Amino acid sequence: MVDTIWDVRLRLDVDGVRTTSRLTVADTGLSGGLPVRPRLSRMVADRLEPHVSAKGHLAFRLVSENRNAERVQELITRGVRGRPGTLAKTGYRKAKELRKKVTSGDNKLRAYHEVFSRLPVKKRTVVFESHLGKQFSDSPRAIYEEMRRQGLEFEAIWSYAGSPKDFPKGVTLVKRWSLPYLKALAQAEFWVDNQSYPLKLTKRPETTYLQTWHGSALKNMGFDQPSLKAQTRQQQAEQQRSLDRFDRFLIRSEHDVHTLAKAFRLKEKTLLRVGYPRNDALVRARQREAALGARERGPLAAELGIAEDKTVLLYAPTFRKAGGRHGRFELPFDVERFADQFGDRYVLLVRSHYLNHVVLPPTVQGRVIDVSARHDVTPLLELADGLITDYSSVMFDYALLDRPLVFFTYDYDEYVHEGRGTYFDLLEHAPGPVVRTEDAFHDAIKSFESQALEYAKSRKEFVAKFGEYDQGNAAQSIVDQFFAQWSR
């Protein structure tokens, strides 16, 4: 009765996933109206007319023509704008402001430091987090699963951001930045994550922080970035305090020591040269393949609907800021052209960075598959017969499988020379062809099968330089070192 403009939402339920969207009117002409059905609304209006909102979305507006409805509307307007309405709105506004204040970041930090951090540490409690709570994946997942495999007795708490769907059963789930999340961190005996817990949270001395990190570095990191170098001393000190929380930092090669460890100003005693637990599966897959002399594709191909005679390519680019706050990533090639030219032999899996997303046209269904929603990239790497990437650290992981790689660096000059810079020249060290145009990209795909032999030596040298500590036992080594005493 009070709101005369009614917004419209379209809800789509596809394969158990609900998407809610507004409808954009664009150049569509609107006409006609709908009879008003709700009884209360009939008191103030006769019908609903289509209406374009200020942002160009479809809405409906209550329209009255008879005098009785107009009188009721006048009474409502007078009430809303008069003293009763003013008191009601003031009370609502104050309640809203109070709730905002209570749940503000500053008050949450106070709760963490002044309340939760005074509670006793709970032994055998581990808080796991992957990619800021967006995934159940990566090395934290590999460590968690190894602890379960060994039958250890502990309380597992997983952080999630967004939906808790696809996180494991039998664990405690806490929403990132919620009060239960802060309480769990304050009382945990161990933190295990691959990026960073909130920077302003002080780690208690009784808590051990295992930082697994999420990839070796091509791009300049930490204090090697121009943006961090330009910060004030105070800002740099705050950044350093967050990095000094790490009790152990996982290393997969001496390249990590000279890049990541140096850029984060980590002490030698913090470094743990055991490799990445997430890569254990890839090392074991390569070992099985060498022993059997053949590939084991596994159940994931059938789950994705991929025929046995199709070669699987995985396109996994790095993060791109383009696309606005929604993070949409525009593919740098015509995906329909790719599907038409190569769809008879190849299936292309597209895996965007977790902070981006892609939209594929329905015409490529079955030939190009968006797998970005899958939490863990490791099974996709294990499935793929070849990898297409650019500057993503996934190159270092996939090389462990000794399979072909193609580097599609369409924005190389801009990314390398105008961005934050790189630690080495990809053109010189890439264990596969580096291409910059769509035509050159297609030529690389046409010669895909010959690349296995052509770049075999380069891949071997690449792994020796960037993956020397990935031996397939990282998760077991970490669990044995830090958690073995938790056996039942």
Q: Quick one: pLDDT at residue 416?
A: 84
Q: Quick one: pLDDT at residue 324?
A: 46
Predicted structure pTM score:
0.81
- Local structure of 244: helix, strand or coil: coil
Q: Quick one: pLDDT at residue 402?
A: 96
Apex 321 CA angle, 315 and 10, nearest 5: 85
Amino acid occupying residue 101? K
For the chain, what are the domain ranges? 5-101, 108-275+475-486, 296-466
Structure tokens at 106: 């500053």
Distance CA 103, CA 30 (A): 43
Amino acid occupying residue 433? P
Q: Quick one: pLDDT at residue 59?
A: 87
Residues in CB range of 310: below 8 A, 6 or more apart:
345, 346, 347
Distance CA 281, CA 273 (A): 18
Q: Quick one: pLDDT at residue 58?
A: 87
Q: Which CATH number fits domain 108-275+475-486: 3.60.10.10, 3.40.50.2300, 2.60.120.310, 3.40.50.11820?
A: 3.40.50.11820
Task: Kindly indicate whether the domain formed by 296-466 is annotated with CATH number 3.40.50.12580.
Answer: yes
Distance CA 130, CA 123 (A): 22
Structure tokens at 73: 């509307």
Q: Is the dihedral of CA 425, 426, 432, 436 positive or negative?
A: negative
Q: Do domains 108-275+475-486 and 296-466 have the same CATH topology?
A: yes
Closest by CA position to 267, among listed 275, 277, 257: 257
Q: Quick one: pLDDT at residue 14?
A: 86
Q: Quick one: pLDDT at residue 346?
A: 97
Q: Mean pLDDT for each 10-residue chunk of the chain (488 residues)? A: 76 84 76 64 69 81 68 65 71 69 83 96 98 97 98 97 93 97 98 96 98 96 92 93 97 98 97 98 96 90 95 93 62 94 97 84 94 95 97 97 96 84 94 97 94 95 97 98 91
Distance CA 220, CA 218 (A): 7
